[in-house]
């Protein structure tokens, strides 16, 4: 998710209950495709209700243990744009903060390397837009 602030690009990050910075994401619900899921999760986790999909990005996969079980998760990301600056973290789901930051700050804050790859892919899409976004 990005928005323009004058000539600057700002990227929206969320912080989870464990202090990790990343991007909004979640599970596909019945009747949704990945694009619809991305828009819904952004709306739920950040309060951003006015967003447009610019382009699909990459999917990332990872494995982790939960309650002793190995879980494999794949997440599809999209380059989204909004003019809405105000956010509202979904605290009941463990989102402790939302923050608009320049892409170089996002790179520093992101907890996981695979999220930095998503940021790189999004930056390439944004820079190809008719009004390139610069961080």
14-40 pLDDT, tens digit each: 999 999 999 998 888 999 999 999 999
58 or 53, higher pLDDT = 53
Domain 2-127 has CATH 2.70.180.20: no
Cα separation, 35 vs 33, in Å, equals: 6
pLDDT(104) > 80? yes
pLDDT(135) > 60? no
pLDDT in the model for residue 95: 95
Burial 75-85 (b: 16+ CB within 10 A, else e): bbbbbbbbeee
């Amino acid at each position: 998710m990005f928005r323009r602030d004058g000539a600057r690009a700002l990227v929206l990050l969320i912080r989870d209950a464990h202090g990790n910075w990343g991007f909004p994401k979640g599970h596909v619900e019945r009747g949704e495709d990945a694009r619809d899921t991305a828009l819904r999760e952004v709306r739920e986790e950040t309060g951003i209700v006015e967003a447009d999909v610019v382009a699909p990005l990459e999917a990332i996969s990872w494995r982790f243990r939960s309650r002793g079980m190995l879980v494999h998760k794949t997440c599809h990301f999209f380059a989204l744009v909004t003019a809405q600056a105000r956010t509202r973290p979904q605290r009941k789901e463990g989102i402790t903060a939302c923050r608009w930051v320049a892409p170089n700050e996002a790179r520093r804050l992101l907890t996981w390397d695979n999220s930095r790859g998503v940021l790189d892919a999004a930056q390439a899409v944004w820079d190809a837009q008719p009004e390139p976004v610069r961080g």
